Structure 1
Amino acid sequence: MSQPMTVAEVTALLNVTPKYVVKLIRDGKLRASLDANGTHTVASKDAEGYRLKARRRGRKALEELARESQEVGLYDEQR
């Protein structure tokens, strides 16, 4: 069973701000529950899943940037 995480714990896991975690929740990108006090909790499996997806997106973006940089000759030897 997945343990519930607070926004602060998710913030630490994703290395983002609490405001950004709440935005992810409000935008429906990160599933969360509200307790009786109005505090968000996120299942650890959902937080980890989001972290892995974000990591893959970042890696893909870096690979694309490197490919485009090579195509325009950014790393060619200066003469």
Structure 2
Amino acid sequence: MSVEQVAKMLNVSPAYVVALIRDGKLPASANANGTHTVEREDAEAYRLEARRRGRKALEELARVSQEAGIYDKQK
């Protein structure tokens, strides 16, 4: 997949995809002119892991909010 295709799949910018590749968070290969290619399986695995991390963060936010009493009824 091209960087643009991966960006559409992840709903991010192509520049963000390049940053993920540069930071080693998304495996990719580059041809002689520097164009990156990402295997569909790698892009999908990253997407699923990002969703898992997001879900976990929301669960933690809900837990902390409940402990702080944010949802308690006001008298």
For Structure 1 versus Structure 2, the TM-score category normalised by the shorter chain is over 0.9
TM-score (norm 1): 0.92
Where has structure 1 moved over 6 Å in runs of 4 or more?
Answer: none
The alpha carbon displacement at 1:35 in A equals 1.4
Amino acid at match of 2:9: L
Q: Unmatched 5+ residue regions in structure 1?
A: none
Does residue 43 (structure 1) correspond to residue 39 (structure 2)? The answer is yes
Cα RMSD, aligned residues only: 0.6
Does residue 61 (structure 1) correspond to residue 57 (structure 2)? The answer is yes
Paired-residue identity, %: 71
Q: Unmatched 5+ residue regions in structure 2?
A: none
- Structure (1/2) with the larger strand percentage: 1
- Equivalences for residues 1-79 of structure 1 within 5 A: 5-79=1-75
Which structure has more RCO (C-alpha within 8 Å, separation ≥ 6)? Answer: 1
Q: How many residues align?
A: 75
- Partners of 2:43 and 2:58 in 1: CA distance: 23
- Partners of 2:31 and 2:51 in 1: CA distance: 29
The alpha carbon displacement at 1:40 in A equals 0.4
TM-score (norm 2): 0.97
